[in-house]
Each structure stands twice: as C-alpha cells, then as structure tokens.
C-alpha cells in the first residue's frame, strides 16, 4: 500500500483527481489500526479497482482535521477527486465491516 506523504486537502485532491482511491487513516500507536492492518492486503486485492493509500493521521493532522477525521482507523473513498463515502469513527473495524462499507459504495 502506497503512503500518502504529508499534504493538505487541496493537494491531496489534486493527487487523486483521476481514478478511484481509498484513503486509510491510521497511526502506529493505534491498537484498532494494528487490528485491521493484517487484513488490508486481502482487502486491497479484493477491491483492486481502488488504489489504497495509507495516511498517517499524526503526520497529516491538518489534513485529518480538514476532513473531519476524528477517529482511526478510518476509510474515505474517492472517485476522480470527489468523495464517495466514508467509514469514519474510532471503533475497531473488522475485515467484513470494511468490505461491507466498500461494497455499499457501488
């Protein structure tokens, strides 16, 4: 999974203006993020129409604030630079919950 370097909202949208992207907001210290990380390669493979980008919430605290990301892990889907939906809360997320979220976007 590619890492989104430190950026702001406008630059991020410019970077993802073509295609489908899934932003995965996470942090090294977050136990719920560590819980879902082992399932991420399988989720990425299952939903290969999306390019998954890891966003370190601490490194991108301003971006997270601009986007209203208060809890992690959180997922935000984009298509051609426009937000499709988000799974944004501070709860632990299972592989099935993430899959259900992505399936609900279609």
pLDDT, tens digit, 9 for 90 and up, residues 89-101? 878 999 999 999 9
Q: Which candidate in 22, 33, 43, 102 is catalytic?
A: 33
Which backbone phi and psi does 64 adopt, to 5 degrees? Answer: -60, -40
pTM above the 0.85 mark?
A: yes
Q: Which residue has the higher pLDDT, 68 or 106?
A: 68
Domains of the chain with bracketed CATH = 2-104 (3.40.30.10)
Confidence category of residue 25, pLDDT binned at 50, 70, 90: very high
pLDDT above 90 covers what percent of the chain?
A: 92
Q: Which candidate in 30, 36, 55, 76 is catalytic?
A: 30
Our answer to whether residue 30 is catalytic in this structure is yes
To the nearest whole number, what is the mean pLDDT of the chain? 95
Do residues 87 and 74 touch, judged by C-beta distance below 8 A?
yes
Q: Could you tell me which residues are beta bridge partners of residue 52?
A: 22
Confidence category of residue 83, pLDDT binned at 50, 70, 90: very high
Our answer to whether residue 92 is catalytic in this structure is no
pLDDT of residue 106 exceeding 80: no
Do residues 64 and 10 touch, judged by C-beta distance below 8 A?
no
């Amino acid at each position: 999974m590619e890492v989104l370097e430190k950026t702001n909202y406008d630059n991020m949208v410019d970077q993802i203006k073509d295609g489908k992207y899934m932003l995965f907001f996470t942090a090294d210290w977050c136990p719920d993020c560590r819980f879902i990380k082992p399932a991420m390669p399988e989720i990425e493979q299952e939903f290969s129409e999306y390019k998954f980008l890891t966003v370190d919430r601490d490194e991108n605290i301003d971006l997270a604030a601009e986007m209203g990301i208060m809890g992690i892990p959180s997922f935000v889907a984009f298509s051609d630079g426009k937000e499709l939906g988000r799974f944004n809360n501070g709860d632990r997320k299972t592989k099935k919950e993430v899959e259900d979220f992505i399936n609900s976007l279609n």
